[in-house]
Amino acid sequence: MQSKFSGRWLTPLHSALLLCAGLLLCTGLSLPSQAAEELLQFQSAQQQALFRELTAELRCPKCQNQNIADSNAVVAVDMRQKTYQLVQQGQNKQQVLDYMKQRYGEFVHYQPPVQWSTIWLWLLPAALLTSMFVFMFRKDKTNAAPQLQQPQLDSELQAIIDEVSAPGSTQSPPQGRSNPS
């Protein structure tokens, strides 16, 4: 008795059908992600450039290390929509930034302003760099002082070696450094 699947059950027709089914499955899985992309219409190229610049400069409050252009967090989506609305209303970059800072705080802008509360952000790196150079300079000075005595020590050592290794010397090697007074 022969089974249904004996022989050549994978014909070229079956191969083509399996390939088409696989392609349809892959295409169907990618459709929801394409539908989720935002398609925004701008009145001018300047507005589109301003929107892209703002979404790159504004930080997602939830993600903290991503801008709102790259984040898919709910708050980032809301911020993108509000940025789009403000740009469509004709507001300039500073007005949009002021609105976002007022609503979410100074944290949302990647470029913090120089203020008394943020002055340490600007001065601390310079102070650390300066102190590092001062430390390195002082360390080099202290290392240079013992090197001045090195030739004198070398000559004393060579004199001791010559004394001990001189032919016909009956003197025993010194046990320690004697202090001639």
Task: Please say if the pLDDT value at position 67 is more than 80.
Answer: yes
Burial (Cβ within 10 Å: 0-12, 13-18, ≥19) of residue 126: exposed
- Sole residue written with tokens 């202090």: 179
Q: How confident is the model at residue 117 (pLDDT cuts 50, 70, 90)?
A: confident
Residues 126-162 pLDDT 10s: 899 999 989 888 877 766 555 556 777 788 888 899 8
Contact 58, 79 (CB under 8 A): yes
Least confidently predicted of 47-51, 96-100, 108-112: 108-112
Task: Indicate if the pLDDT at residue 35 is higher than 70.
Answer: no
Supply angle C-alpha 55, 61, 65, rounded to 5.
75
Confidence band, pLDDT 50/70/90 cuts, at residue 174: low
Q: What angle do CA 117, 120, 123 make, to 5 degrees?
A: 140
Instruction: Indicate whether 53 pLDDT > 90.
Output: yes
Look at residue 39 in the predicted model and tell me its pLDDT: 79
Q: Please report which confidence band the pLDDT of residue 120 belongs to, taking 50, 70 and 90 as the band edges.
A: confident
Whether residue 37 has pLDDT greater than 50: no
Q: How far apart are CA 108 and CA 69, in angstroms?
A: 13
Q: Percent of the chain having pLDDT more than 90?
A: 28
